[in-house]
Structure 1
């Protein structure tokens, strides 16, 4: 069994190889583009890699993306028909958790407004809600969203989440499917998007969503740039229905210098830095699935291609 490592999001391929080898010394690991015999490759760990460059790999068994977003794999015409396995930490990504909580707190404490006041040399104390008065809504409640949502509950915030299918959850109030979407939006003052990008979630951050939020609500997009309709966001910020937005993902990336998003005083732009993927966070899941496959056990954390996540 051979694992092929492609150029990573962070670090070097050699660092990733060494980190994975420390968990499974007997595993043969090859580094792109030195793949040797293509028939030897059973698994690929995918970072910054274009599937158009991938040769035919007749014995490939699984793709393991380093990143959380899967749209550019799932909808790529050359994506091989094998298992796609999530590699994020099962209990939630620590970097995403701290990042999501940080930006929720920034909006809760009205930091964008204070920063704009500083630019204008204006000293004014703004009204401030208490945590139990602040309603936070997560779009999605998977690995990435569940951890920050539960932490915010412990901090005293009123937290809910909107999900596709019904399930049980003790600490966070869940809203289900289309039938409860509007109720979810209408009670949400800080909206956090952590949805996968699928055909059904593309452009979900649009006027149809914004108009249902309470006046003064804010948006945090930690998903994908394709979730957002930029023109609608600008419109609802300019008419003061929305008070602010944080965008960790844009379309395209990098954001062009001429984009109107850069200079809008109610928008914070971040260069897609929510997660900092490293061998020590991804490696255990990669190795566990390889060991399971060698033992004849089914893969864990397999992506549902039809659902898109």
Structure 2
């Protein structure tokens, strides 16, 4: 029986994936949705979202590779319990996330939203510069990606802290853990950056109650998921002055509707979910390594814990 991988995502990038498999893994037959051929041949599915009735459509499926760093777009409860789900480990995604985090933090640190407003008003006015050593940056989520981001921010000299559900120790970062330590963490964040995974516990975590625990005039960066943020609460916090600005790369519903209030808000920098993008050239080696690990009976890197949801 031939061994096939079914690709279900952007067709333009799919051609890049196809060429890489043909060159480096000719023993794995490449197929692109919806032209799946004989479904019994398909052992691997690489997809952004899984098709309905997965067990019936692909009876011999052995692994689902999510073409993303997170898996919240997948309804894990509807997937077969025995089916391994593996996140994409793409060095290009990590690099892009670090670049975006630095861009967002520095934009807020150097007050670029205010200077952009002044430019539009033909206003030439300097404002006091806060030294980086006196700017406190807090990161919510301390997984591997968050740790890369913190490392990329270290050379600027910011005071760095982090918060996660579980205990972490990271050199040069003051780490907090659990619900009981969240208020202390929030109370010393001049700029709060969210890279949490989206779970039942973290959905809506960026809300009115959380904003009230930040220092007055703090700023927010959301690089996690749109559902982390209660959008109406952000608008209220900005209007009241509790928050001074926000950089958002994700929304509850994407793309944003033409009348979405974030479009024209002077204190919001909105980008269209571009912090990082999967690059086949950098992602392919990691995907192929995981396929080979599976064939050898080894545990794959990035395999999702169904209970934790990431």
The TM-score with structure 1 as length reference comes to 0.94
Tell me the alpha carbon deviations over residues 253-283 of structure 1, each in whole angstroms, 9 at most, x when there is no partner: 0111111111111011111111121112221
1:236 aligns to what SS in structure 2?
helix
Q: Which residue of 2 aligns with 1:96?
A: 97
Q: Which residue of 2 aligns with 1:61?
A: 62
Cα pair 1:226 1:250 within 8 Å, conserved:
yes
Q: Report the more deviating stretch, 248-257 or 278-287.
A: 278-287
Distance 1:272 1:92, change over 3 A: closer
Q: Which residue of 2 aligns with 1:191?
A: 192
1:52 aligns to what SS in structure 2?
coil
Root mean square deviation, CA, Å: 1.8
Q: Which residue of 2 aligns with 1:299?
A: 300
Q: Report the more deviating stretch, 159-168 or 222-231.
A: 159-168
Q: Which residue of 1 aligns with 2:6?
A: 4
Cα separation, 1, equivalents of 2:251 and 2:77: 19
1:12 aligns to what SS in structure 2?
helix
**Displacement of 1:91 after TM fit?**
9.6
Q: Report the more deviating stretch, 211-220 or 167-176.
A: 167-176
Cα pair 1:5 1:17 within 8 Å, conserved:
no
Cα separation, 1, equivalents of 2:76 and 2:59: 21
Cα separation, 1, equivalents of 2:18 and 2:173: 39
The unaligned stretches of length 5 or more in structure 1 are none
Establish whether residue 133 from structure 1 lines up as the match of residue 134 from structure 2: yes
Q: Which residue of 1 aligns with 2:52?
A: 52
Cα pair 1:163 1:177 within 8 Å, conserved:
yes
- Runs of 4 or more consecutive aligned structure 1 residues displaced over 6 Å after TM superposition: none
1:284-295 map, 5 Å: 284-295=285-296
Cα pair 2:92 2:279 within 8 Å, conserved:
no
Cα separation, 2, equivalents of 1:246 and 1:105: 11
Cα separation, 2, equivalents of 1:108 and 1:300: 36
**Displacement of 1:175 after TM fit?**
0.8
Cα pair 2:69 2:93 within 8 Å, conserved:
no
